[in-house]
Structure 1
Amino acid sequence: MKNLQSHLLLLIAATLLFSCSQPSVNNPVLTSADSLALKQAAINGQLVNEGLERCRKFVTDWLAHADSTTGLIPRNLYESTDIWNAWDAAADNYPFMVLTAALTDDSLFRGRMLDMLHAETQLTSRIDRLPDTYSFSKKGFDKPEPDLNSIMFGSSEYIKDGLLPLTEWLGASPWSERMVGILDDMWKYAPVETPYGNIVSNNVEVNGEMLQVLSRVYWMTGDQKYLEWAIRLGDYYLLDEHHPTRNFESLRLRDHGCEIVSGLCELYATVNAADPAKKKVYQPHMHEMLDRILEVGRNDDGLFYNSINPQTGEVLSAGTADNFGYNLNGFYTVYQIDSTDTYREATLKALNALSGNYRNFDWETGSADGYADAIEGALNLYNRESVSSVPGWMDSEMQVMWSMQDSSHRANTEQWRSSGVIEGWHGDGNFARTTIMYCLWKTQGMTVAPWRADIQPGVVRIGEDLLISVSVEADWEGVVKFDVTRHQANMHMPWDWPRINQFPEWFTANESMQYTWANLQNADEKTFSGKQLSDGVNVSLKKGVNQFRLQLTSN
């Protein structure tokens, strides 16, 4: 696979260097561990370059198929080419074009990506701010009359899968404004009556998504109404005759159903901090749900079946869910709250099984989307539990997923061979989403601007220090920026529970601390505050390999 052989050769060289236990010849202050870390940082830089360049090509080649009048992308490229819709084009594909541009092309981000948001808002908002399916040929809505249930589903997908992850990364932006506007109007028109107040749907996927969104938007805005709406849903599912394992005859543990599990866990995390009395009421019902899923919902490796009958224990679909991480996010969250070791052990069991039993695994009938979801889940959980076998598994499986962009591995993608298009459907956006997550792991959250096709930024963390390698083919000047605790800065969450479609925090700069930035080639040193690092510091790079150490100096 592309570049894999060279990556392996570099790893071998790094290992040999480490075994010699000799300091660097060029810089005797470097220990053998430092030298090994810098070798790995260089490998990480190659992977980051390849990953973000693949995302750029995905964006460029998909945009070539955008509607010439509206600028909006179609739902898919081999069917539904005449429509834009909220639950596919907007939810799964467009947001990760936006994020790719934010990381690699500021003019595209502030230009065409923002123009697409404005066009979508103007053209597709049908019931107040709620979006409906738009036809390019009709130059208007695809259906003559609005279907509220369909509009609610599309709105929920757009918010949870698209606008919410953008907001977690970008913070306040036109995309977060669009998200809150849609969310408010969903609940303005909530049509389903319950003893606890109206809710937006009786669709378990939509309500699971709403639980996730409302829990986070409550913290982001501080507006009590979002917590009240979320508690309506919590009471409906945990305190009424809609309990997912006590009352459901079919419970999907993969996407399009599993959202209710992690959604209830996110609400549980929220009321733990915001309404402890309600948390206490929910606690036995939450544990009942999670315990029953562990009892009848897993295979021998600790990964989840596609669907079960939780009442009888019958496995309705024995396939292995690529969304195992989505469920385990919830289990791990409740472990963090209640110290229930069983839920942590479930997470560790699944993570430990990946390397031995799930390499080159057929997650979703050969689709890159299955790999994207599986790797995302592993990344998110590895951020909390550093199981030693997981990094190698993520590296190998990312190579498998990336190869799908090159190989035209599905019959209907033959026409896109050598194109950035992966499979020609809205799931292509998830390829970019997970690739970006992976690249941010390889840089520990560090980003560079302006991006250039030859730049290779990679980072390895050793304790509180970062060893940084940035290779360029020509001199480069720009800004290097380090991550912050985004769950606090952007979302105002009380703690960083694992959640779907988040971008994990790796190294984060503490604005109250001082850091030393040392150039390992010329021994130049500069001191920066954590705030300066997160705002971005100016850096000049020379052609070739540039090596740095970022070290905590004082608080």
Structure 2
Amino acid sequence: MPLFAPADLPAGPPEDGRDLARAAERAAEAFNRSRMFLEGWLPYLDKATGLLPQRLGDNPPLWTPHNSAADNFPFMLISAAFTSRDLFGPLLERSLVGEISNTIQLHGLPGTYDLGGKRQVDVGLDRLIFGASEYAKDGLVPMVEILGPGIWSRRMASLAEGVFAAAGHETAWGMLPSNDAEVNGEMLQVLCRLFWMTGRNEYLAWARRIGDAYCFEVLPGNHGVPAHVWDFAGHTGDGRLKLRDHGCEIISGLSLLYAIEKELGSERAEKYFPPVDRMLKRAVEIGVDSMGLFVNEVDAATGEVTRGNISDCWGYDYYAWVTMAMVTGDRSYLQPVRKALDNIHHCKDYRWEPRGDGSQSHDGIADAVEGALLLLSHLPVESAFDWVEHEAGRMFAMQRDDGTIEGWWGDGNFARTALMYALYKTRGCRLDPWREDLRIAARSGKEGLIVHLDSGRPWSGKLLFDPPRHSYWLGMRRDYPRINAFAEWSTFNPLELYHVAGQGLEDMTVTGQKLIDGIEIQLSGEGPLRLNVFPDGI
């Protein structure tokens, strides 16, 4: 569960009808922009294989597991699930057939594929493992988080199994897939979810290999924090603490593994706590600026900043602190998180990933906003929500008329964050089938959930509500913040009863499962419809 119940959150679409209508306009823009992104990239799918090139204009065009499959195509699928449902199944099936038929190299792991020459590109085992870890964590994990289990969750499991079948880095705790924090951190993110979802001990055993290696060797040997690269034979590392993507994943990954061990009451929980706790304290000591925001990279020994600029993944980093607060009950972990959220409004128009010409990519904005939104679902700060509004508008303005953003794999991150922003505005509610003239927003409070609906012309379909996805699909006891998770703003428990009332609707009492499956709604196109949904008995 969040640190605050959704009804206690002052955030989200504001109070009166006019503000709800404005919020509905913003949500509609976000949904429509994600569909524009989908439609913008559809023409570039390879006609023979259904696979997506990693970047437009490349010669030869390449499909890569770490870019095409990890960062772009999954968000085409998620965009289709929310805005063009009829495209979802055919896109998924065609791509999987193309991937399995053409790209598999060793241990069931996909490799780079030349779409022009229709041939595999030999990249070596380490790159295969890297590609699979990226594909699983950045591509398939978000699908599991927002869509629930499906063939994509089975694909995620098969990639994890292939990675550990191929693991070739010997340590005192068993073979690891890599000697770098990125791959090992990504696999922790994946394995923790797989264990929660399935209860299968091999996933936990593999996660423990990584946890043991880092808690008992890497962290003690690198001044309390992860090294980016560690030589397990020489017992030494490069001394770099990376606090941005391609390295920061290990920090929150270790906190998730600790949460599992704590819930299990295992001996490892007691053994993991000191190094994990020290890691967080040391990272805040040397890795943040005066506003409490993480920089990109520091020297683990001296604290010297080795790569300046604020990390666009500052929010991802702080997921670990919120997780530790939730699992231990020690709210002092939240102090640095709140400081960062209190100060993020100073970063309006910040150039997150500056280029040499003075411009910046949408990608840095997308990551920074994503991290903030998930933190804000646990720790609401009004000025930080205002910052999200500003930055989302800045990101939206970067989309081209054809629906693409910059024409590379990072375009998927635009759609991901647009959908996260839309679901913040709607409190997790959505309309199906989506149409560009639809408007939806919601706010939650002590009186329940107020949902505002409108359309430009008559429409009929379903209004769907959000389940507690962390438990409903992943089997987690608590909604620990997780990289690539979609925030849970207002959720409905399947077996609880809820009362639904609204203009022109017959009052009804339904199960939460009925709300999750969707209730039938008709919109006249002549004015808004307001619904009130609250637990039965209030």
> Structure 1 residue 342: deviation in Å?
3.5
Change (3 A) 1:36 1:291: closer
> Structure 1 residue 454: deviation in Å?
0.8
Aligned equivalents of 2:15, 2:265: Cα separation in 1: 48
Which residue does 2:189 correspond to in 1?
212
Contact preservation (8 Å) 2:104, 2:110: yes
Aligned equivalents of 1:245, 1:48: Cα separation in 2: 45
Which residue does 1:231 correspond to in 2?
208
Change (3 A) 1:118 1:463: farther
Aligned equivalents of 1:133, 1:251: Cα separation in 2: 29
Aligned equivalents of 1:80, 1:405: Cα separation in 2: 24
Aligned equivalents of 1:341, 1:309: Cα separation in 2: 28
Which residue does 1:383 correspond to in 2?
377
Contact preservation (8 Å) 1:74, 1:80: no
**TM-superposition CA deviations, 1:435-480 (whole Å, max 9, x none):** 1111111111111111111111111112251111111111111111
> Structure 1 residue 275: deviation in Å?
4.4
Which one of the candidate residues 336, 355, 374 is aligned to 2:326?
Answer: 336
| Aligned-partner SS, 1:52 | helix
**TM-superposition CA deviations, 1:268-308 (whole Å, max 9, x none):** 11111124310110111111111111111110000011101
Aligned equivalents of 2:278, 2:534: Cα separation in 1: 46
Which residue does 1:79 correspond to in 2?
58
Aligned equivalents of 2:271, 2:82: Cα separation in 1: 43
| Aligned-partner SS, 1:457 | strand
Which one of the candidate residues 323, 339, 342 is aligned to 1:352?
Answer: 342
> Structure 1 residue 312: deviation in Å?
1.4
1:425 and 2:408 correspond: yes
Which residue does 1:312 correspond to in 2?
302
Which residue does 2:253 correspond to in 1?
263
| Aligned-partner SS, 1:240 | helix
Contact preservation (8 Å) 1:511, 1:529: yes
> Structure 1 residue 513: deviation in Å?
2.2
Which residue does 2:234 correspond to in 1?
none
> Structure 1 residue 370: deviation in Å?
0.4
> Structure 1 residue 41: deviation in Å?
2.1
| Aligned-partner SS, 1:424 | coil
Contact preservation (8 Å) 2:129, 2:166: no
Q: How many residues align?
A: 507
Which one of the candidate residues 164, 182, 187 is aligned to 2:141?
Answer: 164
| Aligned-partner SS, 2:397 | helix
Contact preservation (8 Å) 2:142, 2:485: yes
Q: What is the percentage of aligned positions where both structures have the same residue? A: 37
**TM-superposition CA deviations, 1:302-341 (whole Å, max 9, x none):** 0011101121121112211010011100111112223344
> Structure 1 residue 548: deviation in Å?
1.6
> Structure 1 residue 35: deviation in Å?
10
TM-score normalized with structure 2 length: 0.91
Which residue does 2:80 correspond to in 1?
101
Which residue does 2:236 correspond to in 1?
none
TM-score normalized with structure 1 length: 0.89
Contact preservation (8 Å) 1:323, 1:373: yes
Aligned equivalents of 1:124, 1:275: Cα separation in 2: 42
Q: Mark the runs of 5 or more structure 2 residues left unpaired by the alignment.
A: 1-12, 228-238, 355-359
Give the letter aligned to residue 521 of structure 2: V
Which residue does 1:539 correspond to in 2?
521
| Aligned-partner SS, 1:405 | coil
Which residue does 2:422 correspond to in 1?
439
**TM-superposition CA deviations, 1:348-376 (whole Å, max 9, x none):** 00000011x11111111111000100000
Aligned equivalents of 1:347, 1:78: Cα separation in 2: 41
| Aligned-partner SS, 2:67 | helix
Aligned equivalents of 1:231, 1:512: Cα separation in 2: 35
Change (3 A) 1:147 1:477: same
Aligned equivalents of 1:136, 1:226: Cα separation in 2: 34
More moved, 116-125 vs 171-180: 116-125
1:491 and 2:474 correspond: yes
Aligned equivalents of 2:59, 2:374: Cα separation in 1: 33
Give the letter aligned to residue 96 of structure 2: L
| Aligned-partner SS, 2:217 | coil
Give the letter aligned to residue 412 of structure 2: G
Contact preservation (8 Å) 2:107, 2:163: no
Contact preservation (8 Å) 1:261, 1:330: yes
Which residue does 1:134 correspond to in 2?
113
Change (3 A) 1:472 1:127: same
Give the letter aligned to residue 485 of structure 2: Q
Contact preservation (8 Å) 1:245, 1:251: no
**TM-superposition CA deviations, 1:50-106 (whole Å, max 9, x none):** 111111111111111222211211011143651100000100000100100011111
1:49 and 2:39 correspond: no
Contact preservation (8 Å) 2:60, 2:114: no
**TM-superposition CA deviations, 1:490-513 (whole Å, max 9, x none):** 110121101111011111112232
Which one of the candidate residues 495, 502, 505 is aligned to 1:512?
Answer: 495
Which one of the candidate residues 282, 286, 290 is aligned to 1:300?
Answer: 290
> Structure 1 residue 386: deviation in Å?
1.1
Aligned equivalents of 1:138, 1:81: Cα separation in 2: 8
Contact preservation (8 Å) 1:448, 1:479: yes
Which residue does 1:240 correspond to in 2?
217
